[in-house]
Amino acid sequence: MELKTKSAGRRTISVDGETLALLRQHRERLRGSERVIVNSAGTPMSAGVLARELDTLRRVTGVRETASMKSLRHFHATTLLQAGVPVKTVQHRLGHASAVMTLQVYAHFVPADDDSAAGVIGAALADAGQVRDRRRNLRAV
């Protein structure tokens, strides 16, 4: 999917087949508009109206936290990084010039990831201990 960015550039990102089908249906309803988020007249939706629409959607779906375009962007980036998607890929999807920007702004601390990191280190230390113990038990013949 090709996106027009706020800096007047264009960027192509991949989307799954189901999302692409939904976007195509949405575009047909908009009579071929290049924009994804428009008001009933087909013109760009104001930030205030979009915020109210997102808040309504949040309440209807039972999401407790406030939703905004910024929070959706953070959700997108954090979800990808947590899933192990390479930082350079996330950087491209967000349109950042550097991976440093992506990491500084969008890589959030997730407690479950810290638990996972503890498990990885614990397993590595256990493996190292087993190797050391096996070496001790080797005898020259």
For a pLDDT cut of 70, what percent of the chain falls above it?
A: 84
The parent domain of residue 136 ranges over 109-141
Locus of tokens 């924009």: 35
Task: With residue 60 as reference, give the H or E element that holds it.
Answer: helix 47-61
Closest CA to 80 of 92, 97, 65: 92
Task: With residue 12 as reference, give the H or E element that holds it.
Answer: strand 10-12
Does residue 113 sit within a domain? yes
Give the highest mean pLDDT range of 56-70, 93-107, 124-138. 93-107
Does residue 17 sit within a domain? no
Does residue 18 sit within a domain? no
Does residue 140 sit within a domain? yes
Total domain count, the chain: 1
pLDDT higher than 80, residue 28: yes
Does residue 78 sit within a domain? no
Residue 12 φ/ψ, nearest 5 degrees: -105, 130
State both tokens at 110. 């997730």
Per-residue pLDDT of 72-100, as tens digits, reads 888 899 999 989 999 999 999 999 999 99
pTM of the model: 0.66
CB 81 within 8 A of CB 106: yes
State both tokens at 120. 């990885």
In this prediction, residue 117 has a pLDDT band, given cuts at 50, 70 and 90, of confident
